[in-house]
Chain A
Amino acid sequence: MGDLRTTATADDGPQRRDLILVERAQAGDLTAFNDLVLCYQDQLYGLVARMVPDPDQAADVVQEAFFSAYRNLGAFRGGSVKSWLSRIAINAAMDIQRARKRRPVQPYPELEDDSWQPPAGEEADPERQVLTGERVRVLTAALAAIGDDQRAAIVLFDIEGFDYAEIAEMAGVSLGTVKSRIHRGRLALRRGLVDRMELFRG
């Protein structure tokens, strides 16, 4: 495994590594698949946690996404493994969200969860910490309040760093739709933050 990573070049290294791992996993190598899991579990959890408010549920979604990826290894036709996994995770998260809307239990429990606090450096100013924590809290709440499609697009673009084309491919929509979702989502965020915008200014 270490050899595979070191043989990859700087530019296409992760992609080459992923393809090799997928190929080995397709041949039945569970260790290769678990190496992929190790590479992407943090990123996928971070992505899903933005979509699914409950951390336990988010973890279940990520686990299901990896199960689904393993089951469908044969359906992988090349391209970006990261995008492929993200698409599976996003779809699983959307399914959970839809089910949640049908049976609402407790809205946004993550707002009380410590795991959403930013990591505090020892040198951090306490006032600044409080401000940052408050900013994260209100922004997370506003993000949770906008539409699923808009939130997914914003998370993928602003947080995960995918470009418009990648998001369009993942979501199965046009480039224009992705842009529209992002722009409208940001406008919706601003409306949601209407009374707390001073936290973000200056």
Chain B
Amino acid sequence: MPRLVHTRPDHDETLIARLAAGDLAEREAVDANALVAACPACAQLRADLRSIMAATAGLPAARRTRDFRLTDADAARLRQSGWRRVLGRFGDPRLAFTKPLATGLVALGIAGLVLTAAPSLIPAIGSSGAAPAQAPLAGAYGPAQATAGPAGFGSDSGGAAPGAGNLEPSFRAIQSAPPPLPAASAAPAASSEPAASALPAASAGPSSAPPADLGVGGGTAAGSSPAPVVEGNPSVGKSTEPGSEQTEGPSALLLVSLALLVVGVGLFLLRWAARRTA
């Protein structure tokens, strides 16, 4: 049995295939013919490829085993009506632009969601670095600050509240998120005390005043409105501070991202369904 002689590795087999098919430009053909003349394996390859082309073209056609004409029942079943016709339009080549459009919308939606979620992830990622810096504050300001709830203190303190009021809710979420571990270690001291006991503490005397005073963020809060100090009672904070309403609900970015994502995925589904029904 004659064996194939392989062409040298540095000889371009595709060039020989193109030569065998007559697909080479004149100059390339000259080079390829020179190669074939100098390389017996290349000449064999060209001859084999031509034999294969001839044999492939001469393959007998397979015999059909069925009549594929449509019956009236087939036609009635296949006739598109109503929603199928509308759906079918999404498979129209003229609406091919919906595919990149859907891809873009989904990408934007995902990017928006990531942007929305990223700030809330940052404290989790960087908690080890952020915690030591917050711990002294928690200690200095006392238990009330360390265990402050979202509604009670976020918009109430004199220093932080004005800025926080302008922030996106997601950023406020960082501010109102549970403090890192070292800071939280201060919390049990406060949380072990009943909330009610903190109220008298605010007016009891200088020794117990600083936690409530600083924690609330100003003399007005400590003196006239001690209610926000009450821990774990958001309704109290809301009722006393109108600005605290802004901290609730999803951000516009989140809503837009979700909408883009839904529309993009919807377009993909429509195209897929159109292809399935086609």
Contacts and interface: CB of A to CB of B under 8 A. Distances in A.
Interface stretch (B54-62, B99-107, B179-187, B236-244): B54-62
B52 A33 contact: no
Contacts of A16: none
A70 B71 CA distance: 12
A70 B77 CA distance: 11
Contact of A70 (B1, B48, B78): B78
A58 to B, nearest CB: 7
Interface in B121-179: none
B88 interface: yes
A35 to B, nearest CB: 9
B41 interface: no
A184 B14 CA distance: 7
Interface size class of B (residues with CB under 8 A): 35 or more
A193 interface: yes
A2 B193 CA distance: 101
Contacts of B57: 158-159
Interface stretch (B16-24, B30-38, B198-206, B227-235): B16-24
19 contacts: A33-B70, A37-B68, A41-B64, A44-B68, A46-B62, A49-B62, A58-B62, A59-B65, A63-B68, A66-B68, A70-B78, A71-B278, A118-B60, A139-B56, A158-B57, A186-B53, A190-B45, A197-B4, A201-B47
Given A41-B68, A139-B59, A195-B1, A190 B49 contact: yes
B8 interface: no
Contacts of B75: 30, 33, 70
A10 B69 CA distance: 26
Contacts, number: 134
Contacts of B20: 186
Interface in A1-56: 30, 33-34, 37-38, 41-42, 44-46, 49-50, 55-56
Given A158-B53, A201-B48, 19 more contacts: A33-B75, A34-B70, A41-B67, A41-B69, A45-B62, A46-B61, A46-B64, A49-B62, A70-B78, A116-B60, A118-B60, A136-B59, A139-B56, A179-B23, A190-B4, A190-B48, A190-B52, A201-B2, A201-B47
A106 interface: no
Given A37-B70, A67-B74, A143 B60 contact: no
A119 B52 CA distance: 20
A42 B56 CA distance: 18
Interface size class of A (residues with CB under 8 A): 35 or more
Question: Which of B1, B47, B69 has the most chain A CB atoms closer than 10 A to its own CB?
Answer: B69
B51 interface: yes
Interface of B: 1-2, 4, 13-14, 17-18, 20-21, 23, 45, 47-49, 51-53, 55-57, 59-70, 72, 74-75, 78, 80, 88, 91-93, 277-278
B68 to A, nearest CB: 5
Given A71-B80, A187-B49, A198 B17 contact: no
A75 interface: yes
Interface string A170-197: 0000000001101110110110011101
Contacts of A201: 2, 47-48, 51
A14 to B, nearest CB: 18
| For the complex of A and B, 4 pairs with smallest distance between CB atoms | A49-B62, A183-B17, A46-B61, A200-B51
